Structure 1
Amino acid sequence: MSRMLRASAIMAAGTMVSRVTGFVRTMVLAYAIGTMALGDSYNAAYAIPYSILDLLLLGVLSSVVVPMIVRAQQHDPDGGRAYEQRLLTVATVTLIAVAVLAVIGAPLLIDLYTDWAPGSKKYEVAVLLARFILPQLAFFGVGAVAGAILNTRDRYGAPMWAPVVNNLVVICVFLSYVLLSDAGSNIDQVSDGDLALLGLGTTAGIVAQAAVLIVALKRVGFSFVPRFDVRNARLGEMAKAGIWTIGYVVVTQLGFMLTTNLSSAAGDIVEGHGITPYTLAFQLFQLPYGVIGVSVITAMLPRMSRAVTEGRFDDVRTEFGSSVRLICALMVPVSLLLMVLGPAITVPIYGHGANSVASAVYIGNVLQVYGLALVPFSLFQLLLRVFYSFGDTKTPVFVGAGTTAVNALLMWLFYVMLPARYVVMGLALAYAIAYGLGAIIAWVLASRRVRGLGGWAIGMALTRMYLAAMPTAVLALVVVWIVTGAFDGLGFVNSLIVLATGGGLGLLLYLGVAHRARIPEVNSIVGMVARRVGR
């Protein structure tokens, strides 16, 4: 536990700074281009390279590449060095080719991911932005492989801190747009030069991020030599293992494609209630998982893969149980606070410049619904890593397909049943329900694989965490009721008061109650913080 806590703390610190600068980035984005038509076009174009990377690489990294690098390090005479060089060579060449094809096919990609008619202003602006943003595919992919190699060497700092550089570059780009452009959020006045600044500036951030990771690789003694002897790259083994992971990513991306199409259609009916509110709320929803969940999972997977390779199933169960309890010790109170304080969080972040307070409140309403999904989504991701540590990429495809099918059905039902202004909130609710069911199915299957996951002990621990978090939720509700009643709604200052009192004091209250309830994970976190402050 202490070893995982230390590794997770290093990553969480970098991720926290990354997410804080990410907050600033989204604040500047909303200030510069808002959540109306131009914001929708930018976010549609911005989402596409991440979707392509999911299809080609990022899903395979955690499920296939990391375990294969670990095995190469354990069994190859050179400690896996040549294998890593071949892997980086193949990824670089492949992703350059994909980036070129994506730029050429930008109109088709925008047509796939949105409901906008070709020739419309939103569509044309999105296509041009996509052509400026899609070249980042090559740099992002190479950086991701470099990060995976660093993780297998237990070097977690650079992969978690490199996005900070990306965020800082993009913040400067959007501030430059505010200073240099007269268009603001008006899509009819934006020029090709304005769009080039936004698109190429976004790509420049990814280039800087990849550069940081490559430098970090050199510092750990990795010298990149291009190797084209792909026969020794074990691509066949990777393809055999990765085909199911790619299938899983394809399924989830089909669900994401439906989400962007439905939200873009809703945004055409009620402007400001489309892709951009969905994207911004989803980014905030992912923040706790990105800071806490990803850090723990990144530290957990290599160790779990080694335990499986050596046949130590008891260690697999122990590693999984510790990870669940460590993540949920913080996820549980945060999820309740998101459900209560959503608008109070989003108004200070997004209610400025080109974006109105009313639009920021709507983003907060979507975030409140997403709060329901935080714990189930985190458990779902942890459970998938159990299968991946066994080299099983097939089972997650079927679990993911079922989850996505439920999500798609519910999204369509909510789109048909709800007024357009509530559609994006309905999409978030569908997501929460689907991942709740998906986590249950994944738990049953993973438990069979490991011959038990300690469900009773984990269930009791989660129950104690929720009971400890209930006073926090009640305090936050009372604060919201008092402040909104006294000041007639949420403005910037009112929201800060709500966050400081309901959020800040609420978390302190949770830590105090959990400490008195002797929840070990919370005591470990409090003790670690106290020791660091004492230094």
Structure 2
Amino acid sequence: MSRMLRASAIMAAGTMVSRVTGFVRTMVLAYAIGTAALGDSYNAAYAIPYSILDLLLLGVLSSVVVPMIVRAQHQDPDGGRAYEQRLLTISTVALVVVAAVAVLAAPLLIDLYTVWAPGSKRFEVGVTLARFILPQLAFFGVGAVAGAILNTRDRYGAPMWAPVLNNLVVICVFLAYVVVGSGGGDIDKVTDGDLALLGLGTTAGIVAQAAVLIVALKRVGFSFVPRLDVWNARLGEMTKTGIWTIGYVVVTQLGFMLTVNLASSAGDVVPGHGISPYTLAFQLFQLPYGVIGVSVITAMLPRMSRAVAEERFDDVRAEFGSSVRMICALMVPVSLLLMVLGPAITVPIYGHGANSVADAVYIGNVLQVYGLALVPFSVFQLLLRVFYSFGDTRTPVFVGAGTTAVNAGLMVLFYSLLPARYAVMGLALAYAIAYALGGVTAWWLASRRVQGLGGWTIGMALTRMYLGALPTAVLALAAVWVVTTAFDGLGFVNSLIVLGVGGGMGLLLYLAIAHRMRIPEVNSIVGMVARRVGR
């Protein structure tokens, strides 16, 4: 527990700064180009490289590459160094080719991800931005492989801190656009020079992020020697294991493609209620998971893989149970606060410049619905790592396919039933329901794999956490009611008051109650923070 806390704390600190600067980044984005037509075009172009990376690399990294690197470090005479060099070489060459092809195929990609007619202003602007943004595929992929190698050496700091530099670069780019750009948030006035600044500036951030990770690799003694001896890269083993992971990512990306298409359709009917609100709300929803969940999972997977390799299944169960309780100790109150304080969170962040307060409130409404999904989504991701630690990448495909199918069906249902102004909120609700059902299925299958996951113990721990968090939710609701009644709505200052009382004091109230209830994970976190402050 203490070792996981220390490793998770290092990563959480870096991720927290990364997410805070990410907040500033999205704030400046909304201020500069808004959430209407130009914002939708940018966010559609920005989403495509991440979807391609998920298909080709990022899903395989967590499920296949990390366990294979760990095995190479244990089994190869050179500690896996040659294998790591081959992996980095092959991924670099492959991703440069993919990036070049993607740039050429930008019109097709925009057509796949939106309902915009070719030749329309949104479509053409999206294609132009995509051509400037898609080259980041090569740099992002190389950085991801470098981060995976660092993680297997228990070096978590650089992969968590490198995105901070990316955010700072892009923040400067959008501020420069505000100063020198001629289009503002008006898609009809934006020039090719404005689009080049936005697109190339976004790519420059990823280049800086990759450079930090390469430097970090050199500092841990990794010497990069290009190796093109593909026959020694164990690609057959990787393909055999990774084909199922790629299948899982394909399925989830088909679901994402449907989501973006439905959101873009809603945005055509009601400007400001399309892709941008979905994207910005989803980024905020991912913040708690990114700070807390990813940090714990990144530290957990290599240790769980080692425990499986050594057939220490009791340690696998213990590692999983400890991870779930540690994540949920903070996710539970945060999820309730998101459901209550959504608009109060988004108005100070997005209610400026090219974006109106009403647009920001709608983003907050979407975030409120996403709050329902926070705990189920986090537990679902932990459960997938149980299968990955066993080298089982097939089961997550079927679980993911079922979850995505349910999500897709619910999205289409809610989109057809709800007015366009509520369509994106319906997409968020479908996401929450699908991951709750997917989590139940994944739990049942994972429990069979390891002869039990300690469900009763984890269930009782979660019940106590929710009971401890209820007063926090009540305090947040009271803060919203008092401020909106007294000051007639949520403005910038009013939202800060609500966040200070309902969010800040609410979390302190939860920590105090959880401490009195002797919830061990909260006590460990409080104790660690107290020791840090006392030094």
Q: What TM-score do the two structures reach when normalised by structure 1?
A: 1.00
Residue 173 of structure 1 corresponds to: 173
State the alpha-carbon separation in 1 of the partners of residues 317 and 20 from structure 2: 33
Residue 425 of structure 1 corresponds to: 425
State the alpha-carbon separation in 2 of the partners of residues 185 and 36 from structure 1: 8
Residue 399 of structure 2 corresponds to: 399
Residue 366 of structure 2 corresponds to: 366
Runs of 4+ in 1 over 6 A off after TM superposition: none
State the alpha-carbon separation in 2 of the partners of residues 14 and 181 from structure 1: 32
Partner secondary structure for residue 78 of structure 2:
coil
Residue 440 of structure 2 corresponds to: 440
Q: Which amino acid aligns with 1:69?
A: I
Deviation, 1:123, is 0.2
Residue pair 2:341, 2:368 contacting (<8 A) in 1 also:
yes
Q: Which amino acid aligns with 2:196?
A: A
State the alpha-carbon separation in 2 of the partners of residues 128 and 474 from structure 1: 48
Deviation, 1:490, is 0.1
Q: Which amino acid aligns with 1:394?
A: R
Residue 356 of structure 2 corresponds to: 356
Q: Deviations over 1:25-75 (max 9, x none)?
A: 000000000000000000000000000000000000000000000000000
Residue 78 of structure 1 corresponds to: 78
Partner secondary structure for residue 523 of structure 2:
helix
State the alpha-carbon separation in 2 of the partners of residues 58 and 219 from structure 1: 24
Residue 314 of structure 2 corresponds to: 314
Q: Which amino acid aligns with 2:502?
A: G
State the alpha-carbon separation in 2 of the partners of residues 190 and 299 from structure 1: 45
Residue 202 of structure 2 corresponds to: 202
State the alpha-carbon separation in 1 of the partners of residues 312 and 182 from structure 2: 63
Following superposition of structure 1 onto structure 2, how do residues 366-515 of structure 1 map, counting pairs within 5 Å? 366-515=366-515
Partner secondary structure for residue 273 of structure 1:
coil
Q: Which amino acid aligns with 1:276?
A: S
Deviation, 1:290, is 0.1
Q: Which amino acid aligns with 2:389?
A: S
Residue pair 2:475, 2:506 contacting (<8 A) in 1 also:
yes
Residue pair 2:414, 2:423 contacting (<8 A) in 1 also:
yes
Q: Deviations over 1:183-239 (max 9, x none)?
A: 100000000000000000000000000000000000000010000111110000000
Partner secondary structure for residue 271 of structure 1:
coil
Following superposition of structure 1 onto structure 2, how do residues 263-302 of structure 1 map, counting pairs within 5 Å? 263-302=263-302
State the alpha-carbon separation in 1 of the partners of residues 464 and 505 from structure 2: 20
State the alpha-carbon separation in 2 of the partners of residues 250 and 182 from structure 1: 39
State the alpha-carbon separation in 2 of the partners of residues 59 and 430 from structure 1: 23
State the alpha-carbon separation in 1 of the partners of residues 104 and 182 from structure 2: 30
Residue 215 of structure 1 corresponds to: 215
Partner secondary structure for residue 94 of structure 2:
helix
Residue 113 of structure 2 corresponds to: 113
Deviation, 1:424, is 0.1
Residue pair 2:113, 2:257 contacting (<8 A) in 1 also:
yes
Partner secondary structure for residue 285 of structure 1:
helix
Q: Deviations over 1:107-139 (max 9, x none)?
A: 000000001010000000000000000000000
Q: Deviations over 1:299-344 (max 9, x none)?
A: 0000000000000000000000000000000000000000000000
Partner secondary structure for residue 272 of structure 2:
coil
Residue pair 2:182, 2:191 contacting (<8 A) in 1 also:
no
Partner secondary structure for residue 505 of structure 1:
helix
Asked if 1:324 corresponds to 2:319, the answer is no
Residue pair 2:372, 2:432 contacting (<8 A) in 1 also:
yes
Residue 247 of structure 2 corresponds to: 247
State the alpha-carbon separation in 1 of the partners of residues 57 and 364 from structure 2: 32
State the alpha-carbon separation in 1 of the partners of residues 467 and 173 from structure 2: 45
State the alpha-carbon separation in 2 of the partners of residues 331 and 127 from structure 1: 38
State the alpha-carbon separation in 1 of the partners of residues 304 and 22 from structure 2: 30
Q: Which amino acid aligns with 2:141?
A: G
Residue pair 2:30, 2:353 contacting (<8 A) in 1 also:
yes
Deviation, 1:402, is 0.2
Q: Which amino acid aligns with 1:175?
A: L
Partner secondary structure for residue 221 of structure 1:
coil
Asked if 1:61 corresponds to 2:61, the answer is yes
State the alpha-carbon separation in 1 of the partners of residues 325 and 275 from structure 2: 34
Asked if 1:163 corresponds to 2:160, the answer is no
State the alpha-carbon separation in 1 of the partners of residues 301 and 40 from structure 2: 36
Q: Which amino acid aligns with 1:404?
A: T
Q: Which amino acid aligns with 2:510?
A: Y
Partner secondary structure for residue 353 of structure 1:
coil
Residue 130 of structure 1 corresponds to: 130
Deviation, 1:434, is 0.1
State the alpha-carbon separation in 2 of the partners of residues 32 and 427 from structure 1: 26
Q: Deviations over 1:351-403 (max 9, x none)?
A: 00000000000000000000000000000000000000000000000000000
Deviation, 1:4, is 0.2
Deviation, 1:182, is 2.2
Task: Give the superposed CA RMSD.
Answer: 0.3
Q: Which amino acid aligns with 2:323?
A: S
List alignment gaps of at least 5 residues for structure 2.
none
Partner secondary structure for residue 138 of structure 1:
helix
Q: Deviations over 1:431-487 (max 9, x none)?
A: 000000000000000000000000000000000000000000000000100000000
State the alpha-carbon separation in 2 of the partners of residues 7 and 14 from structure 1: 11
State the alpha-carbon separation in 2 of the partners of residues 270 and 423 from structure 1: 10
State the alpha-carbon separation in 2 of the partners of residues 507 and 517 from structure 1: 15
**Identity over aligned pairs, percent:** 87
Q: Which amino acid aligns with 2:525?
A: I
Asked if 1:227 corresponds to 2:219, the answer is no
State the alpha-carbon separation in 1 of the partners of residues 321 and 272 from structure 2: 42
Partner secondary structure for residue 226 of structure 2:
coil
Deviation, 1:181, is 1.1
Residue 32 of structure 2 corresponds to: 32
Deviation, 1:252, is 0.1
State the alpha-carbon separation in 1 of the partners of residues 268 and 230 from structure 2: 48
Residue pair 2:158, 2:212 contacting (<8 A) in 1 also:
yes
State the alpha-carbon separation in 2 of the partners of residues 193 and 95 from structure 1: 27
Residue 139 of structure 1 corresponds to: 139
Partner secondary structure for residue 511 of structure 2:
helix
State the alpha-carbon separation in 2 of the partners of residues 181 and 403 from structure 1: 43
Residue pair 2:182, 2:194 contacting (<8 A) in 1 also:
no
